[in-house]
Chains A and B, each alone.
Chain A
Amino acid sequence: MARAVTPQRKALNTAIAWGIGLLIFFPILWTILTSFKTEAQAISDPPVFLFFDWTLENYSVVQERSDYMRFLWNSVIIAGGSTILGIIIAIPAAWSMAFVPSKRTKDILLWMLSTKMLPAVGVLYPIYLIFIRMGILDTRMGLVVVLMLINLPIIVWMLYTYFREIPGEILEAARMDGASLKEEILYVLTPMAMPGIASTLLLNIILAWNEAFWTLNLTAAKAAPLTAFIASYSSPEGLFYAKLSAASTMAIAPILILGWFSQKQLVSGLTFGAVK
């Protein structure tokens, strides 16, 4: 049943939505603005909002001091690699849970999720020691595996909820037509679940991009991604907020742009499925 919405009501709702949106976005906006200020303006009180001498000096200092492209490349490989690897493993897992559930499927799903409840630092030493033994400390490959494992429960859960929306009869029909299991998953299920898979992919790239515990603790000079790039501009003794903001802006820019262009898929994917 549709409810009548008056234009005033609609305008009010829009204004409130914009207000909340801006409020949530404000810290990022402030970071971006601060990155164009001098260090003195960055800490001035009362704070200056838009009317200051815009400068690109912080960006040139950051460029000069750090090899941004190396950090960026590491981030792309680690976030992209871990997500793609995770999806490849999660699609068959989610298929079996959604279409051929056993008595224990619900328990397994919950158990998978429960691994997310353990604080990461609790397993820092075991993982660190395993990494030393395997010689994969400070390698992108090691981080790809760890971030994939960390995000795997979320990927499986998301795909599972999307797959459950797809009628099992369609897959059955494919099987009747002689499709093998591989063909069924690859050519029937995957294309139908594409919006769900795309949003899972995007969300997990964002999660992996922002992951700042393992990426800081398992890297040194070679595999450090953008999280380490930001951390290198935080100072205990000295005010470098403008430079820190410039580094942060450079670190979040790629993912912000990616998110902006794919917001349609993100939103439609997130509202699709049983868990909304």
Chain B
Amino acid sequence: MSLRNAFRAATALSVLATSAAYAETITIATVNNGDMIRMQGLTDDFTEKTGHEVEWVTLEENVLRQRVTTDISAKGGQFDIMTIGMYETPIWAKNNWLVPLDDLPAEYDVDDLLPAMRGGLSLDGTLYAAPFYGESSMIMYRTDLMEEAGLEMPDAPTWEFVADAARKMTDKDNEIYGICLRGKAGWGENMAFLTATANSFGARWFDEDWTPQFDSEAWSNTLNFYIDLMNDAGPPGASNNGFNENLSLFQQGKCGMWIDATVAASFVTNPDDSTVADKVGFALAPDAGLGKRSNWLWAWALAIPAGTQKEDAAKEFINWATSKEYIELVASKEGWANVPPGARTSLYENANYKDVPFAKMTLDSILSADPNNPAVDPVPYVGVQFAAIPEFAGIATQVGQEFSAALAGQQSAEEALEKAQALTVDEMEAAGY
């Protein structure tokens, strides 16, 4: 009997030992963005090179966040790689939920990652998530409408210029609106835009003692400016518009200007989908002369949850998907305009990529965002359009609802700010700040 048991154990061990060296199947949770879809289509290349199979779990962004947060906090071990953003990375790393990516091979060239991206995805100097693609925000504008208005867009405009141009470009009878901006409530929707805009107006979320600042004059200036501009030159129903709604309006030629994610540039210049593909210009997000621009910084990154049984295979995948070779692979199959942008310095030094019309402006936008020093005045938090603390997403979504209601005309900017201040003070006190 004991002999049989020993034999069984030996067989089991040998199976384990051989399977460890052989192929694994890793499960990756991700979102349905264009660059991610392309990555899924190219998985065969990874399987060919390493022998590992990949199973994809693609979910809607908010569902994905909830899903992976549940799994990682309960240590469910359902995923070997998770697609997360710049907001989650430092918070999760602090909770020891992520495997540090400090042993990537030399040919990965971790120093090639754009410093802003690497910084935003690190905690205390250790990288915890590898940027798959990065983005900032910038102005996309209609060159023909700008010309009709008799104006010329500078590379680095001010809010004053943008507001003036928006009002001049607006022709409501023909459904042309000078400016399309986010209005839909959500920490990643209107609050991403408004927090970044507030930075340029000299406002901030918290002072150095974590006291909420919505009662400041700078926030009042920000919100009033935004609402006045949208009332004069924005599309109707703007309080329901997020990224996709504005993209749709812009592609149909209804927006003079649109300030949003740099990744939108490849959509609006694609003649298959956009009616204005050949009439789009780009400029840096505006400033108010205070030294900070109103652009944000974001990365969709791949991270490995602590506790996965397939850490080595997961690292091999990250090494493949965020490498220089992967960029070359996409370029060879889909063209340079479709490679994942905003992650690596070498991409922007590549002669082939320099011909892509939005490449330079994307890089300049990313480089001009500083997550460690986002506002005019000093702040205690990290993050440009967010504060990387766990409480932020909940608070900012509630604040976003107040601001969205103010844009819809259901309350004044002052009322919205008062409520925002009160609820932020409450939440922060409850959280022990």
Contacts and interface: CB of A to CB of B under 8 A. Distances in A.
A228 B64 CA distance: 11
A103 B74 CA distance: 42
A228 B55 contact: no
B244 interface: yes
Interface residues of B, number: 42
A137 B264 CA distance: 37
B29 A65 contact: no
A65 B244 contact: no
A188 interface: no
Nearest to B34: A238
A124 to B, nearest CB: 6
Interface string A140-177: 00000000000000000000000000000000000000
Interface stretch (A110-118, A179-187, A189-197, A217-225): A217-225
B141 interface: no
Contacts of A132: 74-77
The CB with the most chain A CB atoms within 10 A, among B41, B76, B267, is that of B76
* Chain A residues touching B, majority SS: loop
B76 A217 contact: no
Nearest to A43: B248
A131 B74 CA distance: 11
Contacts, number: 97
Interface string B19-46: 0000000010101111001001100000
B247 A239 contact: yes
Given A220-B29, A232-B58, A236-B60, A43 B74 contact: no
Contacts of B248: 43, 45, 239
B140 to A, nearest CB: 14
B211 interface: no
A6 interface: no
Contact of B252 (A45, A236, A240): A45
28 contacts: A43-B252, A44-B252, A124-B70, A125-B70, A128-B76, A131-B76, A216-B59, A220-B27, A220-B55, A221-B27, A221-B55, A228-B57, A231-B59, A232-B57, A232-B58, A233-B58, A234-B32, A235-B31, A235-B33, A235-B34, A235-B60, A236-B61, A236-B188, A237-B264, A238-B244, A239-B267, A239-B273, A240-B32
Q: Sorted from nearest, which 10 A-B pairs have the closest CB atoms?
A: A232-B58, A221-B55, A234-B60, A236-B61, A220-B78, A235-B32, A43-B248, A237-B33, A221-B27, A128-B74
